[in-house]
Amino acid sequence: MKGLQRGLTNYGDAEFSMFLRKAFIKAMGYSDDALQRRIVGITNTYSDYNACHGNVPKLIEAVKRGVLLAGGLPMEFPTVSIHESFAYPTSMFLRNLMAMDTEEMIRAQPMDSVVLIGGCDKTIPAQLMAAASADVPAIVLPVGPMLVGHYQGEALGACTDCRRLWSDFRADRIGAAEIEVINERLAPTTGTCMVMGTASTIACAVEALGMSLPLAATIPATHADRIRCAEASGRAAVMLAEKGPRPSEVMTAAAFRNALVVTQSIGGSTNALIHLTAIAGRLGIQIDLDEFDTLGRAVPVLIDLKPSGQHYMEHFHWAGGVPRLLSELEDLLDLKARTVVGTLADTMNAATETHEQAVIRPRSNPLNQSGSMAVLRGNLAPRGAIIKQSAASPQLMQHTGRAVVFDSLEDLAARIDDDALDVNADDVLVLRNAGPKGAPGMPEAGYLPIPKKLARSGVKDMVRISDARMSGTAFGTIVLHVTPESAVGGPLALVRNGERIELDVAARRIELLIDADELARRRTRAGAVVEPTLPRGYAALFMRSVLQADQGCDFDFLVPPTI
Ligand code: FES
């Protein structure tokens, strides 16, 4: 079956179903010729609440043009759209809802292929989870990154500089009037955050995964090339509708490995690991944390972008983007891996920029000898934790300090700036009950603020540990995704104020320095774990079904039984 004949509504009479469907679609003015074409669905994630997706209407127009030029019939349809700053309690809480919505709409409506237009952090992961499960040929079109802002001769980037300058404001280094001006300039155009945050990381990983066109990750959101990329994606979607491949034929274990190599090499966001794990999980592919860590030891950080380095996405693009990066990583990649339009070798060969530049470093001069992330284990994180070592302070990578424990986000907000808080620069800030079930939704709260009294005296970084996530745009010596989380009985729940915690990134260790018997006694004394629940609706479903960080925080009933 193709086009309009796919997935007929069930009335018990297929011919009548088609008759009725045609009657209604004709109300939109379509001709019989149009209705005989292959159909390319286009997700519309435009929303007044999603500034990052402000260019989506123009992109849809261009995708439609591409589809029509290639002889297909474009049909746009709305899905859930999520913006980082407009989602309560946190966008991660809603990612799986968007994935379910997108999957079911792809499955329920007649389409031979689909163009997934997304960008803001959780949107493309949700769409790829959906595409993996629906397994209808699909191509991702990212909305593209914002251009940089400017203030007093300095380039500003959302949201690494949002955090840095907010910290300066908290420490009284800049005043209220100044921070207001900065606020207006941090996000000067539509598009996704232009540092190597989660949105940029995912866009680059998706290009390496083979699910978008070459250069689709980096072309600025505002540029004519972005519109041309949309038109080309529309054309490619018609080819996909005719001949495939399906997402399951592109997103293979080799393709995920390629995506993880690129994620390590770009100083990528820790969130990308959770999302790639969730997407792979839909296809029965397991991302092994220890293998990811091993990759990180072999793959250097080559991209000099904030928060690990200096530049921004537009500079990465004009330096040659992902294709040029792939040529630096050639020996670490499987270039035969399939993409939506060819192979990864074709993507690599799409690099046209050959000039000297300082954004994509050669292997002989990396920004960081090892990859952006390291996996930690120990009595505090039996199933693993993650640190973005490329954005951490070198002097804190091996550190032992006193635990200063916060029981929840509310406790953190109430006490972190209290002048009476017993805290020193050498201490380790611990936040618990901020994981997938604890918060709920595993908010980006892992970037605990430096207590005001320490910030005022010039402290810019401390070791911080939590079962939360962190924005990909943030920086610091921050241990995240401690698994299992404290709300389901993870050992973070058992740490007491004043106890010593040892972080040793080189040894990949995070340890509470008490003996194993004492930890076991505390676990026994704490009694049976009562996991948090919520009474109704999506929230109840979320609490019942969400998996831990090492399983991508997908819902247990959405992954195949092998995961
Ligand atoms: Fe949308 Fe950063 S807020 S990508």
pLDDT tens across the length of the chain (563 residues): 899 999 999 999 999 999 999 999 999 999 999 999 999 999 999 999 999 999 999 999 999 999 999 999 999 999 999 999 999 999 999 999 999 999 999 999 999 999 999 999 999 999 999 999 999 999 999 999 999 999 999 999 988 889 889 989 988 999 999 999 999 999 999 999 999 999 999 999 999 999 999 999 999 999 999 999 999 999 999 999 999 999 999 999 999 999 999 999 999 999 999 999 999 999 999 999 999 999 999 999 999 999 889 999 999 999 999 999 999 999 999 999 999 999 999 999 999 888 999 999 999 999 999 999 999 999 999 999 999 998 999 999 999 999 999 999 999 999 999 999 999 999 999 999 999 999 999 999 999 999 999 999 999 999 999 999 998 888 899 999 999 999 999 999 999 999 999 999 999 999 999 999 999 999 999 989 999 999 999 999 999 999 999 999 999 999 998 65
For 439, how many CA atoms within 13 A lie in the half-sphere containing its CB? 28
What's the 481 CA to ligand 1 centre distance in angstroms? 21
Residue 492 pLDDT: 97
Please name each of the domains of the chain with its CATH number.
32-147+189-349 (3.40.50.2300), 157-185 (no CATH), 377-532 (3.50.30.80)
Give distance in angstroms: CA of 198 to centre of ligand 1: 8
Ligand 1 near 486 CB (within 6 A): no
Query: If you take atom 3 of ligand 1, which residue's CA is the nearest one?
Result: 84
Does 114 sit in the ligand 1 pocket, CB within 6 Å? Answer: no
Residue 160's pLDDT is 86
Nearest C-alpha neighbor of 128 from the set 231, 275, 267: 275
Instruction: Give the CA distances from residue 354 to residues 17, 218, 320, 321, in Å, rounded to whole numbers and listed in that order.
Output: 56, 17, 8, 11
Residue partners of 517: CB distance under 8 A and separation at least 6: none
Q: Decide whether any atom of ligand 1 lies within 6 Å of the 193 Cβ.
A: yes
pLDDT value, residue 395:
97
Q: Which amino acid is at 248?
A: S
This prediction's pTM: 0.97
Q: What is the pLDDT of residue 354?
A: 86
Verify whether ligand 1 is closer than 6 Å to residue 84 (CB atom).
yes
At 562 the pLDDT is 67
Cα–Cα–Cα angle for 57, 58, 59, nearest 5°? 90
The residues pairing with 145 across neighbouring beta strands, listed in sequence order, are: 192
521 vs 377: CA distance, rounded Å:
21
**Ligand 1 neighbourhood includes 206 CB (under 6 angstroms):** no
Compute the C-alpha angle 558/135/321, nearest 5°. 100
| Ligand 1 atom showing the smallest separation from residue 200 Cα | 4
CA of 467 to the centre of ligand 1 (A): 22
